[in-house]
Amino acid sequence: MKNGQKPSRLTVRDALPAAVGVALLPPLWAVVSALAGIPFGWVSLASAGMLLPFHEPLRAGVRQSLSFFMGCIWGLTATIAMSALPLPQMSALFLVLCVWGFAAVLLSEVAFRQKTVLAIWLGSWAIALGTFGESTPANYAAVFGKLLLAMLCGVWYIGLLNQKFQALLDRHLRCEKASHTHEKQA
């Protein structure tokens, strides 16, 4: 690794922090959320999978959280709109997905460019749309809260905490490697 360039091929040691982080934290959340009776624990896992590593984790976490929030709003309002439109189900589905998708892209890429992540907004919208489609209007508020909480757990616990855990493990492995290198040279 000369001049700060990354190697073209990762070694097991390079991939180990991510492997351990993914092997421990998401399964731990899956068990804890199930034991705690959180019905959307799987959403946290899906949400964490949408995250990308960023250089400024706090700022990125806020941006990602806002994107998940907008996806939940999009899922809820699209579900309500589809049931309210006096059209056949497939026509209402097509029309709402077209309009909401068009608006999401414009809002995310123009109005909220530095505040949201389009891919997360769209992915969480799809999760929310499917989740609200399985619930009743009387439960929408509770479902919204639980769904958003699960998505935020995906951002802050599984995503960003996992990223910090991986960085800590990576630093430990690099220090260990450096100490072995010095021992060999001595």
Q: Could you read off the pLDDT of 13-50 as tens digits, one per residue? A: 777 777 777 777 777 877 887 888 877 777 777 777 66
Residue pLDDT, tens place only, 44-100: 777 776 665 555 667 778 888 999 999 999 999 999 999 999 999 999 999 999 999
Measure Cα distances from 84 to 59, 71, 81, 96, 137 in Å. 37, 20, 5, 11, 12
Q: Within a 10 A sphere around the Cβ of 132, how many other Cβ atoms?
A: 24
pTM: 0.73
Measure Cα distances from 42 to 59, 86, 130, 153, 154 in Å. 25, 34, 13, 11, 9
